[in-house]
Amino acid sequence: MAVISLDGVGRQFETSAGVVDALADVDLHVEEGELVVVLGPSGCGKTTLLNLVGALDAPTSGRLAVAGHDLTGISGGDLYRYRRHTVSFVFQNFNLFPGLTALENVRFGADVAGRRQGEAVAEEVLAKVGLAERATHFPAQLSGGEQQRVAIARALATGNPVLLADEPTGELDFHTGVQILGLLEAQAEAGRAVLVVTHNREISRMADRVVELSGGRVVSDGPPAGGRAPAGSLRW
């Protein structure tokens, strides 16, 4: 059974200039252990899609369920519980807490998800992204790539089954971006459902599956064109 399943999902925005169809009639299913990249130009609806899955926003039409939770009519306490225990986010601009150290930022993920031994979990996860020796550094003392790794560690520390990453490589150079995507891929292999958004077609070649969006609609869904490429063969 798919962990993430969207059936005919649409999201309309009412603006003073009229109604904007950010997403229309989207069908998308992501399995456990699968890394799916959503690809498309700016403004095609990628972030909107991710926000729906993360329950930061609600669809105006269609059905949406994640890990057995029907998100169509979710509200109140369930909403926060869902966010704490089901999904976790990695953002384009990291959004680390500047007042907390790298380790504490990671620990935040474990804490909100209510995991026991948050400290140990955080240390373990931070080591997994290769930043054990930067534990006491504050975000401002880290490079962009390191900050994003901390952000990923924070998302992983929640232990939640669904990982959502919105342009996680957008702020980074190509090489660092590939590293980051490698990390995400490893998460999928470890059994999570990973949904990554990017506008970078080259990077999307690392995925099992690429869903292409255009004007809020899915225009293609399948393995990357030319087949899945190992990280080393990607070129900028």
Partner 1 sequence: MARLGLWLRWSLRDLRARWLQVAAIAVVIGLGTGAYVGLSSSSAWRHDSAAASYQELASHDLRVDLAKGTTVDADRLRAALRATEHPGWIEATTVRLLVPVQVDASRDGEPLLVSGRLVGVQLDGPGGPAVDALWSRSGRALGPSDDGRPVVVLDDHFAAEHDLRGEQELTLGGSVAVTSVGSAISPEYFVVAGDGATAGFFGARTFATMWTSLATAQEVAGLPGAADQAGVLVAPGADVAAVQAELEAALAAALPDAAVTVTPLTEQREYRRIFDDIDGDQKLFDVFALLVLGGAAFAAFNLVGRVVEAQRREIGIGMSLGVPRRSLAVRPLLFALEVSLAGVVLGVAVGWWFGTALAGLVERVLPTPVWDTAFQPAIYVRGVLLALALTFLAASWPVWRAVRVTPVEAIQVGPRATRGGGLAPLVSRLHLPGGSLGQMPVRDALRRPRRTLLTALAIAAAVGLLVGVLGILDSFVATVDAADVELSGTSPERVTATFESFEPADGPTVRAVGESAEVGRVAPFLRVGGELAAVDGRERFEALVDLLPLDDAVWRPGLVAGSYDHDRPGVLIAQKAANDLGVGVGDDVVLRHPVREGTGYRWEESALPVLGVHRDVYRGLVFMDLADASLMNLDGIVNAAQVAPVEGATHEDLQRSLFGLQGVAAVVPAGAFIEAVRSGFQQIMGVLQLVEVVALVLAVLIAFNSSSISSDERAREHATMVAFGVAPRTVVGLTMVESALVGAVATVIGLGLGAALLGWLIHVLLPSTLPDVQLDLAISPRTFLLAAGMGVVAVGLAPLLTLRRVRRMSVPDTLRAVE
- Site residues for partner 1 per CB under 8 A: 47-48, 51, 54, 56-57, 80-85, 88-89, 91-101, 104-105, 107-109, 111-113, 118, 136, 138-144, 147, 158, 171
Q: At CA 121, angle to CA 115 and CA 123, rounded to 5?
A: 150
Single-letter amino acid code for the residue at 212? E
Q: Determine if 47 is a binding residue for ligand ADP (CB under 6 A).
A: yes
Q: Determine if 204 is a binding residue for Mg ion (CB under 5 A).
A: no
Q: Are 168 and 184 in contact (CB under 8 A)?
A: yes
Q: Determine if 42 is a binding residue for ligand ADP (CB under 6 A).
A: yes
Compute, in degrees rounded to 10, the torsion defined by CA atoms 137, 140, 142, 143: 180
Query: Quick one: 44 or 155, whose CB is closer to ligand ADP?
Result: 44
Q: Determine if 16 is a binding residue for ligand ADP (CB under 6 A).
A: no
Could you give the 3-state DSSP secondary structure of residue 208?
Answer: coil
State in angstroms the smallest separation of the CB of 168 from Mg ion: 12
- Close Cβ partners of 24 (under 8 Å, ≥ 6 residues apart): 10, 215, 216, 217
What is the bridge-based pairing of β-strands 217-222 and 162-166?
unpaired
Closest to 26 (Cα-Cα) out of 10, 14, 38, 13:
10
Q: Determine if 46 is a binding residue for ligand ADP (CB under 6 A).
A: yes
State in angstroms the smallest separation of the CB of 115 from partner 1: 10
Quick one: which of 5, 47, 105, 187 contacts Mg ion (CB under 5 A)?
47
Single-letter amino acid code for the residue at 73? G
Residue 173 burial (CB count, 10 A)? 12
State in angstroms the smallest separation of the CB of 116 from partner 1: 11
Query: Quick one: 56 or 229, whose CB is closer to partner 1?
Result: 56
Site residue total, ligand ADP (CB under 6 A) = 12
Which residues of this protein are in contact with ligand ADP, per CB under 6 A? 13, 15, 20, 22, 40, 42-48
